[in-house]
Amino acid sequence: MNFRNSLNTALRALTVNRSRSVLTILGIVIGITAIILVLSIGQGAQGLIMQEIQGVGPRNISIVPGRNVNSPSAIAASFLTNSLTINDLKALQQKINVPTLSAISPVETTIFPVSAGSQTYQATIDGVAPSMQQIINISLTQGYFFTNSDVTDASHVAVIGHKVETNLFGNQSALGKRIMFDNQTFVVVGVVGANGSSVFTNPDQTVFIPWSTMQNYILGIKYFHRIIAEADSVQNINRTVNDITLTLRSDHNITDPTKDDFTIQTQVNLANTVSIITTALTLLLTGVTGISLIVGGVGIMNIMLVSVTERTREIGLRKALGATDRAILMQFLLEAVLLTGIGGIIGIALGTFFSAIIAIAIVHFSGLNWQFSFPYMGAVIGIVVSAVIGLVFGIYPARQAARKSPMEALRYE
């Protein structure tokens, strides 16, 4: 029997037992669907983060306390590190130290419910310098961004985001009105225009106040969570980073680079770090979901063994009519490969469908610029893995069928 005849026979056998075939491939379908979902969501998340990193500003440089701040736990720990102080800020502001610096601002962040009258809104509170408006390109629709005099005086003034204004004051202007959080009252001097959601910062949902006010009246600290700087050109980023590094080492009396108590990140190395983290997480989740493929393969082997037992007389009859062991082996092996291959195709289709639905839902409900991404390599791997699983887990049942004696098989009841 040639390959075409074996394929036709295998297809007929599968169509005769449709319910069994559907149940058999269910594990493969679930596994491939999960893999496509994970890969698609991982690529979409990585693409979104990369867009946000590039959108923040290619000239921006982030200075964070602590070393090697490349993991969520390290980032959280950096908020408790007091290695960046006002002395560092003053040293970096001196043109002789960092001549290619165009703007710099400390950043201190917390979250509080902000109230105005009977209305309350959970907002991010950022203590910054006026130069933060330039660094992250904030545009105001009303009022002004607070001044350096407000920082010097630790004034209780605030610039609020568009969503903060809408939730607290409705259609009324917030300019000149008072808001309250942490038992402190602030006068609104500016309102940020609608900027849209962002992965790293969302001015729409933020209240900006002078960093000195944040330190003295809100957090009660004398250090910065981070410092954001801007180079005067993309070409001067490396020079700026080098000057910042040398200035901070001098200010901290550090002579051994391995003892640095700060980390400097540019958009390029931040993008590389994010890419490594998201890729590792995607691979980890893919490996976890891939376990279901092994479970599906074991299920296929079990069902195929049951099928071999139920079709013993068929096997004996075919052998009596001249079918060789190789033909019987080929038929049952093709059935297993076809089952897993079809399951793989269905899984890819379902995974693509659900990924697209999730992408649409994220855009609709969160407003993020999430792009649906079809993992072509994942689809190819899914088909190949499905076929390999069918081949591996189908060999034993196929060999059992091929080894049956035609005389014993014909007498089987």
Q: Are 303 and 405 within one domain?
A: yes
Structural domains of the chain, count: 2
94-142 tens-digit pLDDT: 999 999 999 999 999 999 999 998 999 999 999 999 999 988 888 899 9
Cα distance between residue 104 and residue 102, in whole Å: 7
Q: What is the pLDDT of residue 3?
A: 58
Question: Are 166 and 192 in contact, with CB atoms under 8 Å apart?
Answer: no
Any domain includes 93: no
Q: Which of 172, 202, 230 delimits the end of a domain?
A: 230
Q: Which of 174, 205, 230 delimits the end of a domain?
A: 230
Burial of 261 (0-12, 13-18, 19+ CB in 10 A): middle
| Residue 155: φ, ψ to 5° | -70, 150
Any domain includes 79: no
Q: What is the pLDDT of residue 77?
A: 46
Q: Are 131 and 226 within one domain?
A: yes
Q: What is the pLDDT of residue 91?
A: 95
Identify residue 389 by its one-letter amino acid code: I
Any domain includes 376: yes
Q: What is the pLDDT of residue 302?
A: 74
* Distance set, CA 201 to CA 97, 160, 190, 198, 380 (Å): 29, 14, 18, 5, 37
Q: What is the pLDDT of residue 78?
A: 47
Q: Which of 171, 198, 230 delimits the end of a domain?
A: 230
pLDDT tens digits in sequence order for the chain, 413 residues long: 555 665 666 566 666 667 777 777 787 888 888 888 888 888 887 777 666 655 556 788 889 998 765 544 444 444 457 889 999 999 999 999 999 999 999 999 999 999 998 999 999 999 999 999 988 888 899 999 999 999 999 999 999 999 999 999 998 999 999 999 999 999 999 999 876 544 446 888 999 999 999 999 999 999 999 999 999 887 888 899 999 999 999 999 999 988 888 988 887 666 666 667 777 777 777 777 677 677 777 777 777 776 666 666 666 666 666 667 677 777 777 777 888 888 888 888 998 999 889 888 888 777 677 788 888 877 887 788 777 887 777 777 767 666 666 655 555 45
The pair of structure tokens assigned to 297 is: 């393969």
Any domain includes 311: yes
Q: Are 45 and 111 within one domain?
A: no
Any domain includes 339: yes
Any domain includes 237: no
Q: What is the pLDDT of residue 10?
A: 59
Q: What is the pLDDT of residue 175?
A: 94
Any domain includes 29: yes
Query: Strand 60-65 to strand 226-231: parallel, antiparallel, or no bridges (unpaired)?
Result: antiparallel
Q: Are 226 and 290 within one domain?
A: no
Neighbours of 250 (CB within 10 A): 12
Q: Are 138 and 224 within one domain?
A: yes
Residue 381: which domain range?
A: 3-52+278-410
Long-range contacts, stretch 95-98, CB < 8 angstroms, 24+ apart: 97/243, 97/247, 98/229, 98/240, 98/243, 98/244, 98/247
Q: Are 112 and 27 within one domain?
A: no
Q: What is the pLDDT of residue 174?
A: 94
Any domain includes 88: no
